[in-house]
Structure 1
């Protein structure tokens, strides 16, 4: 007669409590599934835990999706890009009469063109706005310039195409009644006309 052997049954890892808690923290959808399959806690507690874990998982995703990234982390970064483009294109541009307020930094490129930087509490630049008055070529050059520094991978031909897509060269287009938007590499360009301000060209990032 063979001696009886007591074999201790091992609990599968996916049925262990620590494994469930691990996934509830690391990746809640898997943890929630394990919690319900393991049948731990009462049904009410499982529902509450599911709601909490779902919120823990979803809220950061929503926060990232709804947060618009800045064009530049600070004005210094913008100025570096500005000066680099000026040097490469050999343009006689410089920012003068710089005026900084709580949410904006305003500077003059020349008598016809004004730049406005919309900044957040940390000084990051979220939007660049060019306001141009008159019909000078500096307005067109400034628009192309802003497209170039905010989308440095674009060729001059690509920059020209963005201007064309904005219908800048379409003489039949009525800017007084309409505005145009073009998105390129997650950068949005908007062009409109205001009777008092003049040509308004804005640049911002999209998620």
Structure 2
């Protein structure tokens, strides 16, 4: 009498242990789901695996979110962008009296307008600050220049829109008591007025 060969029971790949650990490493949310779905580990081991996998998945995201990207990698890159925008707008502006300190680089756009580059220890430019006390048109042109160079994909009409959103043309807006902020394509523009120093226009990256 012939006996039928015994068929080996094959474990589904979805239920295999290596498949669970594979997803815990590659994409923890799926791995965590499989850990609790299968239920082969003790509750304590499942909890520990969940905590470790969650930290492994979330920590890099927190690091990236907490890291502020610079506007420019160095002063030279800033100068290149500035000169390019000046040429595009056919302006006669140039940066004079450049003075570098530990955390800032200061230059004069003209006698009444100062540009300040806030830099980190590696020389990357994280913030631009324009301080102006000159005539209104000089300040508007300078702000438009800075918006265009930090947001090169904007055309002149869109640059004008950013200036409008900053309430620059709103005669009823009281800058002495308020400040405005506009975000455009990961760049944050902030405008306020200080009686002692004048118009303060700052530019930085949005985290």
What is the rounded CA distance, in whole Å, between the counterparts of 2:85 and 2:130 in structure 1?
A: 16
Deviation at 1:26, TM superposition (A): 0.4
Deviation at 1:38, TM superposition (A): 3.0
Query: C-alpha deviations, 1:81-132, integer Å up to 9, x for none?
Result: 1111111222111112212222221111111111111122222212111000
Deviation at 1:135, TM superposition (A): 2.3
Matched, 1:63 2:68: no
Give 2:202's aligned residue: 202
What is the rounded CA distance, in whole Å, between the counterparts of 2:135 and 2:87 in structure 1?
A: 25
Structure 1: give runs of 5+ residues left out of the alignment: none
Normalising by structure 1, report the TM-score.
Answer: 0.92
Give 2:81's aligned residue: 81
SS of the aligned residue for 1:73 comes to coil
What is the rounded CA distance, in whole Å, between the counterparts of 2:72 and 2:178 in structure 1?
A: 29
Query: C-alpha deviations, 1:123-165, integer Å up to 9, x for none?
Result: 2212111000132532111101001101111111111121122
Deviation at 1:192, TM superposition (A): 0.6
Deviation at 1:64, TM superposition (A): 2.1
> 1:25 touches 1:31 (CA, 8 Å); kept in 2?
yes
SS of the aligned residue for 2:110 comes to coil
What is the rounded CA distance, in whole Å, between the counterparts of 2:7 and 2:98 in structure 1?
A: 82
Give 2:130's aligned residue: 130
Give the aligned CA root-mean-square deviation in angstroms.
Answer: 1.6
Give 2:114's aligned residue: 114
Give 1:11's aligned residue: 11
Matched, 1:99 2:93: no
Following TM superposition, the consecutive aligned residue runs of length 4 or more in structure 1 with deviations greater than 4 angstroms are none
What is the rounded CA distance, in whole Å, between the counterparts of 2:190 and 2:65 in structure 1?
A: 22
Give 1:162's aligned residue: 162
Give 1:188's aligned residue: 188
Structure 2: give runs of 5+ residues left out of the alignment: none
What is the rounded CA distance, in whole Å, between the counterparts of 1:5 and 1:43 in structure 2?
A: 39
Matched, 1:38 2:5: no
Please say which of residues 147-156 and 30-39 is displaced more in the overlay: 30-39
What is the rounded CA distance, in whole Å, between the counterparts of 1:12 and 1:101 in structure 2?
A: 65
> 2:22 touches 2:31 (CA, 8 Å); kept in 1?
yes
> 1:112 touches 1:136 (CA, 8 Å); kept in 2?
no
What is the rounded CA distance, in whole Å, between the counterparts of 2:42 and 2:164 in structure 1?
A: 64
